[in-house]
Structure 1
Amino acid sequence: MGDLLQNINTVLKKHNDNIYKNGENFNIYSLLGLERQENNTHSKIIAELLSPDGSHGQGDLFLQLFLSEIYGECYLTKDFIRVTRECYCGQIDKNSENGGRIDILIENGNKQWMIENKIDAVEQYKQLERYHNKFPNGELLFLTMTGYQSSYHKELSEKKISYKCISYQDTICNWLEKCTTKLEKNSNKLYLKTAIQQYHNLIKNMNNKGINQEKQMEIVDEIKANIEASFEIKTLFNRAVEEILQDLSDEISDFLGLKEINSTNWNKYFTKDNWGNLAIGFEHEGYSVFLGICTIDNSKELNPIIHDKLKSFQQEINDELGTVSWRCWKYFIETNDEENYVKRFISNSEKKKYLIENLKTFADYLDKICI
């Protein structure tokens, strides 16, 4: 088993060394810390490429390729074409059924395509429904890293609101590949092609698609040659992850002077005796990890004064409402499956540091109000 892991690490090291020597690690978006910013990076770049009036100077070429990638053919007509980023639809009403901002709106004559872009942000309540209500005959495109469904898929289906899942790892990567292919024969477009390739490489790295086919086959060969050890690793992998999570819990408990309660593998909660029926913690639910102040027993009434203070504190944190279970909370990270939960959270020292710092903020606030 040790040989298998060592051999795979050797393959990965060789692959990473080649990437380093070829300069592929140099990515301007990563250097500037912009790789996961939905609106300030991805929506801006995608909207600019899609716009016929974009600085790329290619007219509606990239928009045609985009629609062809999704639908198999281009649906553009000769009518006017407009691409708007952060399209304002009015204030969100009290029922959350109207208003908000559409990340990218494409208009062609009487047709509309609405792109909701989700990388790290939590999907808002009735978000897709609001955009459907704004353009009932428009096409809703739900763009995520891997093409997963909306958190409100069941509710949307019941209301007969359809949407199409598209992904960065397939739809956007394939589209960008087609864009650069179209530019290859024109030497005057080298600068534009290089810029698109940089963005393409960024997305591939975000989706762990940077490893090439040759190196993938080397790893597959190692697994095939050590199949028994591979199954043993697969069997024990979840246990290793559980132990890593427990180590994190112990670190949080020790650092903040708290005791862990009612925790599961993926959800962790901590409290103090003087906090009464309140605790802090983090949960992995659906496609998101969030953290905050939660109630230990939802059936118990909360002191009205503390209730009001927590409500005010939640308003300082974000625009989302607190719940009976989570009085104050904030979104932490988007992770569509347990594998990404491990890669992007548990094994990321910066994310762990950020988690502990934020939990300390919540703990300090409970210490302040629970006297």
Structure 2
Amino acid sequence: MSTSTTHKALELLQLTQTICHYEAELERETGGNFNLMQILGVGHYEVKTHSPILAELLNPKGSHGQGAAFLDLFIDQLEITDFDTTTARVDQEYHIGPVTKTSGGRIDILLRDAKGGCIMIENKIYAEEQQNQILRYHNAFKEGHILFLTLDGSPPVSIAKTHPDKLQSIAYATHIIDWLEACRKEATTVPTVRESITQYIHLIKALTNQNTNSRMSQKITAAALQNPESLQAFFAVRNAESDVKRDILNTFREKLTLLAEKHKLHLSGPEDDFGAVYSSASFHSDNWPTPLCICFEFQGSNFSNLIFGLSDQGKLEQAVRNTFRESFNKTYGNSKQTGYWPAWNYWSRHRNWNADTFQAIQFGHFVDDLEHELIQMIDIINTVLKGQQS
């Protein structure tokens, strides 16, 4: 990078920092950061959060009071021409029979009209795709449209040998946000509906790592496009992202090492590939049975689906594993038990990392949050082991 480009990049960073500070203050004064769904920590639930919101907006008889306007915008965007929105009805978790290899299951959102038209929406935020799921739904409504909805528009794996003609992969990051923006314009004169849609848009942008402040994005874009030097500086800054993240993770490793020493534990990881699927950081003690440890592990790639819990590589007796899970549940509520894990949960507060997470690691509260969970799990382990000795 030339000296002039470096200077220009630093100027652009300084300008961006000024814009961010200004917009953050404006958001604070106007309450733009207030989002009930994020406060309640329910933003990652397909069944409890996203499906009900989507179904309500798509329902012509929904409480929004806009009739079929939102549904019309939805099918127009997806170029669905054989569905009558005026007679549409909407069902959630629609049961189509016991699950077999080729039939049955529950459709997340089902839309049907009086003429036999059908739209099935399979909603995937983080849940695993079930075996032959698309085939089973296709067999239930052979002429129906199947919309496979994910954060980034990834196609389904469980597709029949012959691709259903009316299968579409759609994304929260693009299709749903674009549709919601159109719905918000439609609801301009209905403040409660408009602001509810705005909050939902902000939630989805947070889940898909997009800037929730379009005004700020516009200002930064304008600054980057002022002249060739500014644009070159912008790309130079962007190309430094991997180096910035690497240095932050090195700091994170140092902080975890100090944390382990503080609590008289041994630390394994995080390795250089931290953030990849199944990469982890774990803590263990000489006083605990091998290989029991407290583990934080990504179940997805690119710093996604972070879980935490007790790991034993499946080597403890089942009765002991169940005891650990029962104790874990008293602190964290219902947990999951799998082959290598007596008890684990998604870490809802930091489940999917974004720019705010890296900022919290470098300058904020992230390690404090992790220590809070670590202390609670140390207490769980020690309580169970003490009970076994008595």
Out of 226, 241, 259, the position equivalent to 2:248 is: 241
| SS of match in other structure, 2:240 | helix
Out of 347, 358, 362, the position equivalent to 2:377 is: 362
The answer to whether the Cα contact below 8 Å between 2:284 and 2:294 also exists between their aligned partners in 1 is: yes
Change (3 A) 1:112 1:73: closer
CA drift of 1:225 comes to 5.8
**Amino acid in the other structure paired with 1:73:** I
| SS of match in other structure, 1:280 | strand
Q: Which residue of 2 aligns with 1:210?
A: 213
Q: Which residue of 1 aligns with 2:150?
A: 144
Matches within 5 A, 1:96-175: 99=105, 102-109=107-114, 110-119=116-125, 121-123=126-128, 126=131, 128=133, 132=137, 135=140, 137=142, 138-149=144-155, 153=157, 156-157=158-159, 164-175=168-179
| SS of match in other structure, 1:341 | coil
**Amino acid in the other structure paired with 1:275:** P
CA drift of 1:208 comes to 1.6
What is the distance in 2 between the residues matched to 1:198 and 1:311? 36
Q: 1:112-151: per-residue Cα shift (whole Å, max 9, x none)?
A: 43334444x543654946973883535443433333456x
| SS of match in other structure, 2:173 | helix
| SS of match in other structure, 1:48 | helix
What is the distance in 1 between the residues matched to 2:221 and 2:320? 58
What is the distance in 1 between the residues matched to 2:120 and 2:350? 23
The answer to whether the Cα contact below 8 Å between 2:293 and 2:310 also exists between their aligned partners in 1 is: yes
Matches within 5 A, 1:65-80: 65-70=73-78, 72-77=79-84, 80=87
**Amino acid in the other structure paired with 1:295:** D
Change (3 A) 1:116 1:310: farther
Q: Percent identity?
A: 24
CA drift of 1:247 comes to 3.6
Q: 1:78-133: per-residue Cα shift (whole Å, max 9, x none)?
A: 7842112344567889x9x854x5443222354443334444x5436549469738
What is the distance in 2 between the residues matched to 1:304 and 1:34? 32
| SS of match in other structure, 1:283 | strand
**Amino acid in the other structure paired with 1:141:** L
Q: Which residue of 2 aligns with 1:270?
A: 283
RMSD value, Cα: 4.2
CA drift of 1:58 comes to 2.9
Q: Which residue of 2 aligns with 1:309?
A: 323
What is the distance in 1 between the residues matched to 2:203 and 2:172? 11
- Comparing 42-51 and 228-237, the one that deviates more: 228-237
TM-score, length-normalised on structure 2? Answer: 0.71
Change (3 A) 1:276 1:193: closer
1:289 aligns with 2:306: yes
The answer to whether the Cα contact below 8 Å between 1:64 and 1:74 also exists between their aligned partners in 2 is: no
TM-score, length-normalised on structure 1? Answer: 0.74
Q: How many residues align?
A: 352
**Amino acid in the other structure paired with 1:242:** L
Q: Which residue of 2 aligns with 1:322?
A: 338
Q: Which residue of 2 aligns with 1:52?
A: 60
CA drift of 1:7 comes to 2.9
Out of 331, 340, 355, the position equivalent to 1:343 is: 355
CA drift of 1:9 comes to 0.8
1:279 aligns with 2:285: no
The answer to whether the Cα contact below 8 Å between 2:180 and 2:197 also exists between their aligned partners in 1 is: yes
What is the distance in 2 between the residues matched to 1:231 and 1:183? 37
| SS of match in other structure, 1:260 | strand
Change (3 A) 1:309 1:127: farther
**Amino acid in the other structure paired with 2:80:** E
What is the distance in 2 between the residues matched to 1:367 and 1:98? 45
CA drift of 1:77 comes to 3.1
| SS of match in other structure, 1:83 | strand
| SS of match in other structure, 1:275 | coil
Q: 1:242-288: per-residue Cα shift (whole Å, max 9, x none)?
A: 22331442354245431112542422011011332211111113241
What is the distance in 2 between the residues matched to 1:359 and 1:159? 47
Change (3 A) 1:248 1:148: farther
Ranges in structure 2 where 5+ consecutive residues have no aligned partner: 1-5, 275-279
CA drift of 1:216 comes to 2.9
The answer to whether the Cα contact below 8 Å between 1:281 and 1:359 also exists between their aligned partners in 2 is: no
Change (3 A) 1:115 1:344: farther
The answer to whether the Cα contact below 8 Å between 2:205 and 2:212 also exists between their aligned partners in 1 is: yes
Q: Which residue of 2 aligns with 1:64?
A: 72
Q: Which residue of 2 aligns with 1:224?
A: 231
CA drift of 1:40 comes to 5.0
Change (3 A) 1:220 1:242: same
